[in-house]
Structure 1
């Protein structure tokens, strides 16, 4: 009986070696790339300057979405040209990738209970990242009513920048 057990154990061992010898294996690598987060920082606020409304005619004052922040007074009287500027932002992200830009949160400027409609525009809705800061400018059109009440009008908007 002792010999029978030895033969059986040897046969089982040979069977397991035979199946392992026919097995195939392969390896693969696993990788992950972590991108620099998109960063945005404000360098200037949007400022329409000083506006004198007409008694009877409404108008639109525009500030261009560019570095100069050029203002067009749309037939109204404007002053305070030194204060006029487009909003400016520095956007950084991974070199060679593109970033989408979206504006939100502002449809009017208010002063107490008085308001003026505003529409915003960005210098670009897609920015190509270069490895250093890329400038983004935001301008807008401000609708000034005839005999608009005096006051300092303000509001806040949000710029969102994210990889495409």
Structure 2
């Protein structure tokens, strides 16, 4: 015997509403997290002492007699030699000396030296005349490690331009170096 199954529109709507209600109810159930275990971690840091920079010696080019043209002298920081690059001024004495700086800090850490200026002008005591000092150079690598005692020394040289018929006198100026951890 064949039975007829009759489904009317009202029944379909009812079933759809029941199915929709059950789906929404399932979505609103609280989810429990996956199995998790608590863990903890540590944090730490080391504070190192600041780098302290001590000047050991000033940059001194020596004594000169000016000529009739611009003259350029370069002081080598590695060996302290003064070399004339151009011009007709004459170096007549004094003891050319590279500047020297010692950095002190936490032993075995790395430091870097840099010069804050590309050039400076030194000015005659009691006057306004000046000479240019530029091309500051270091006696080796800029990046170095402090030794076991926490020190490293850098020497700094540069280049001096003596003008034609430069006014006699003592010329002074200041340049800066920075030494930092990196």
**For residues 36 and 169 of structure 2, what CA distance do their matches in structure 1 show?**
83
| Cα deviation 1:79-128 (Å, max 9, x = unaligned) | 223x3200001112333332121112551111121011111222232222
Question: Displaced runs of 4+ in structure 1, greater than 6 A?
Answer: none
Asked if 1 retains the 8 angstrom alpha-carbon contact of 2:122 and 2:172, the reply is yes
Shift of residue 26 of structure 1? 2.2
Q: Which runs of 5+ in 2 are unaligned?
A: 1-34
After TM superposition, the score normalised by the length of structure 1 is 0.76
Asked if 2 retains the 8 angstrom alpha-carbon contact of 1:86 and 1:138, the reply is yes
Report what 2:76 is aligned to.
Answer: 64
**For residues 178 and 157 of structure 2, what CA distance do their matches in structure 1 show?**
15
Asked if 2 retains the 8 angstrom alpha-carbon contact of 1:62 and 1:72, the reply is yes
1:33 aligns with 2:46: yes
After TM superposition, the score normalised by the length of structure 2 is 0.69
Shift of residue 160 of structure 1? 0.6
How many residues align? The count is 141
Shift of residue 142 of structure 1? 0.3
| Cα deviation 1:138-161 (Å, max 9, x = unaligned) | 111001111111111110111111
Larger radius of gyration between Structure 1 and Structure 2: 2
Shift of residue 23 of structure 1? 7.5
Report what 2:6 is aligned to.
Answer: none
- RMSD after superposition: 2.1
Report what 1:80 is aligned to.
Answer: 93
Shift of residue 36 of structure 1? 2.5
